Amino acid sequence: MLSDKDTEPLVGDGSDRRSKSDQTTQRLLDAAAEEFMEHGYEGSRISRIARRAGLTSGAVYARWPHKPDVLAAALDHILRQELPEEFGAERFGLNPFVSDPPDPVAIMRLLGAGRLDRGEHRDVMVQAFGSARNNEAIRACLVGFLNEEARRLCELIEVGKEQGYCEEAFSTPALTLLWHSIILGSQLLVSAGLDERYVPDDDDWTALLWTVVCAVCPGAQPIE
């Protein structure tokens, strides 16, 4: 009769190894993201990415054979956190995409002070647009993000129209482009180093955006 010891598997299921590998990949992505935001595509170095993560360059190349691969993966890693749902949930603890009906105050806040915040990802869009001019992998990643962000904003607007918040007279593409321009334009200007004299404080920016929201969303409730 076999003992418990005899029946134990000789080899583990590999879950611990996978978990450790996933954690290492996450460290490398975080390190590559920091490197990209600080130095852009041309200035980024694989050796520095490895040092930031406390690993060797071999750990990077084992996952991404070439520099464009790791930097595109790093950019995708950052940009996913900038999509409307994730951005709103992280900064404000809310998700206007799942409220029923959609909360125009949440939309206003999403477009507001958070996009003027000089946070840890503040330089990513400037670097991404600059690098996309000469690198196809970065360009594809950026275009994919912009289209996905537009798609999610479009869905939000459509839900707003169904619930009677957004004005039907305005086309969804027009409203999407307006809101997308506000989100991206304000972020690019601040990230590019716009002088503080020309950056409004949170209250002023929020008040102006609320006026815009009310113009296209007549069903919005006043701020209390």
The rounded percent of the chain whose pLDDT value lies above 90 is 30
pLDDT digits (tens, 9 = 90+) for 59-106: 999 999 999 999 999 999 888 877 766 655 555 555 555 555 556 556
Confidence of residue 110 (pLDDT cuts 50, 70, 90): low
**CA-CA distance, 17 to 87, in Å (whole number)?**
31
Instruction: Work out the mean pLDDT of the chain and round it to a whole number.
Output: 79
- The CB density around residue 224, as the number of other CB atoms within 10 Å, is 4
Least confident of 26-35, 111-120, 139-148: 111-120
Answer yes or no: is pLDDT of 219 > 80.
no
What is the pLDDT confidence band of residue 5, given thresholds at 50, 70 and 90?
A: very low
Higher model confidence: residue 4 or residue 178? 178
What is the end-to-end Cα distance of the chain in Å, rounded? 75
pLDDT score for 70: 94
Q: Which domains does the chain have, with CATH numbers?
A: 15-70 (1.10.10.60), 81-224 (1.10.357)
Q: For position 58, what pLDDT does the model report?
A: 95
Q: What is the pLDDT of residues 125-160, one digit of tens each?
A: 888 998 898 889 999 999 999 999 899 888 888 877
pLDDT at 1: 43
CB 214 within 8 A of CB 117: no
Rounded mean pLDDT of 205-214? Answer: 82
Cα–Cα dist 164/159, whole Å: 9
Q: Residue 114: pLDDT above 50? A: yes
Measured in degrees and rounded to the nearest 5, phi and psi for residue 163 equal -90, 0
pLDDT range class, residue 2, cuts 50, 70, 90: very low
Phi-psi label, residue 61: left if phi above 0, alpha if psi -120 to 50, beta otherwise: alpha
For 159-181, what is the mean pLDDT?
A: 86
pLDDT band at 173 (very low <50, low <70, confident <90, very high): very high
